[in-house]
Amino acid sequence: MKIRIVFLIYNIVILCIFPFVLTSCSSEQKESSFKENKSFSQNESKKEEKTELDQKEEIALKTKHYKAKVVRTFPHDSSAFTQGFLFHNGSLFESTGLKFLSTLKQIDLEHNKVLKSISIPGNYFAEGIAIVGNKIYLLTWESNTCLVYDLKTFKEITTFNYYGEGWGLTFDGNSLIMSDGTNNLRFVSPEDFQILRTLSVQDGNRPIHNLNELEYINGEIWANVWMSDNIVKIDPNNGKVLAWIDLGSLYDYIDKERRIDVLNGIAFDKETKRIFVTGKLWPLIFEITIEEIK
């Protein structure tokens, strides 16, 4: 009898507690489900935010396109097979190629007057030039030799050797930057011509080959792309092509019957921020600005 009474009380207790347990479980499940839903919704919202951010970054990283606008034209020696082109302290400096015909000149652009000129000796096919302090460095195409001249006298001071071909040359304030016709740029020390680093130039995943004459402009490397009417603006930190500049409109200024070679030569006047371009055997030098194509 005593056992029966105990069993009866036990059943009553179980029956009373069970609904509360069920309710409690259900509310925990709801809470859990709510948390999950909330978390899902937060993740979705984060995803949306991230997507928006990615899109903004993609737009920011997208290669830009510019076209050249001519500000002014200057006469150019149409026998000049332009290889190196730069502006320094009010003068234009130009090197011209071809074996036995290579030259280095200092030119008064305003008065179309050659101030100083030398022939590059022997078999050297002159290529890019750059000025560092009181020296002018001149690459040669296939002779693996950089000739170094005194800037004032154009007397040869020394030479350096390098492997491969020499094409364009510029100076970023610390290193000489040289091209060799590939998509790679070498940063070399002006002291001993040792390679400090190399930069692979790419537009997205596409390597940009045939990098030719160079100019360092406001923290960017500008390069003629050989056999094209384009200049690429390159980020010197990672080699990414930041922009393409189309110079096709310059042909409107040149007689179509005239024999000219490729666009080559970029010179930047740091003092006046003017940009000059020309080509091999071109009769004109162009001062240009650039305008984004949207």
Neighbours of 182 (CB within 10 A): 17
CB 207 → Ca ion: shortest distance, Å?
Answer: 22
Hey, what amino acid is at 61? L
Sign of CA dihedral 204, 205, 206, 207: positive
Q: Which residues are CB-neighbours of 115 under 8 A, at least 6 positions away?
A: 91, 105, 106, 107, 108
What tokens were used for 247? 């110079």
Taking the least distance from each CB to Ca ion, the nearer of 46 and 230 is: 230
CB 267 → Ca ion: shortest distance, Å?
Answer: 5
What tokens were used for 66? 């510019």
Q: Which residues are CB-neighbours of 193 under 8 A, at least 6 positions away?
A: 146, 160, 161, 162, 176
CB 109 → Ca ion: shortest distance, Å?
Answer: 14
CB 189 → Ca ion: shortest distance, Å?
Answer: 19
Taking the least distance from each CB to Ca ion, the nearer of 120 and 266 is: 266
Neighbours of 148 (CB within 10 A): 16
Hey, what amino acid is at 10? Y
Taking the least distance from each CB to Ca ion, the nearer of 31 and 236 is: 236
| Nearest residue to Ca ion on Cβ basis | 215
Taking the least distance from each CB to Ca ion, the nearer of 86 and 221 is: 86
Q: How far apart are CA 61 and CA 52, in angstroms?
A: 14
CB 92 → Ca ion: shortest distance, Å?
Answer: 10
- Residues at the interface with Ca ion (CB under 5 A): 85-86, 215, 266
Taking the least distance from each CB to Ca ion, the nearer of 85 and 124 is: 85
Q: How far apart are CA 42 and CA 33, in angstroms?
A: 14
How far is CA 30 from each of CA 17, 26, 107, 191, rounded to the nearest angstrom?
Answer: 20, 6, 84, 74
8-state DSSP, 240: B
Q: How far apart are CA 175 and CA 196, in angstroms?
A: 8
Taking the least distance from each CB to Ca ion, the nearer of 169 and 281 is: 169
Is residue 54 classed exposed, middle or buried when 0-12, 13-18 and 19+ CB atoms within 10 A define those classes? Answer: exposed
8-state DSSP, 248: G
- Contact between 237 and 197 under an 8 Å Cβ cutoff? The reply is no
Taking the least distance from each CB to Ca ion, the nearer of 85 and 149 is: 85
Taking the least distance from each CB to Ca ion, the nearer of 36 and 281 is: 281
Label the pairing between strands 184-188 and 135-140.
unpaired
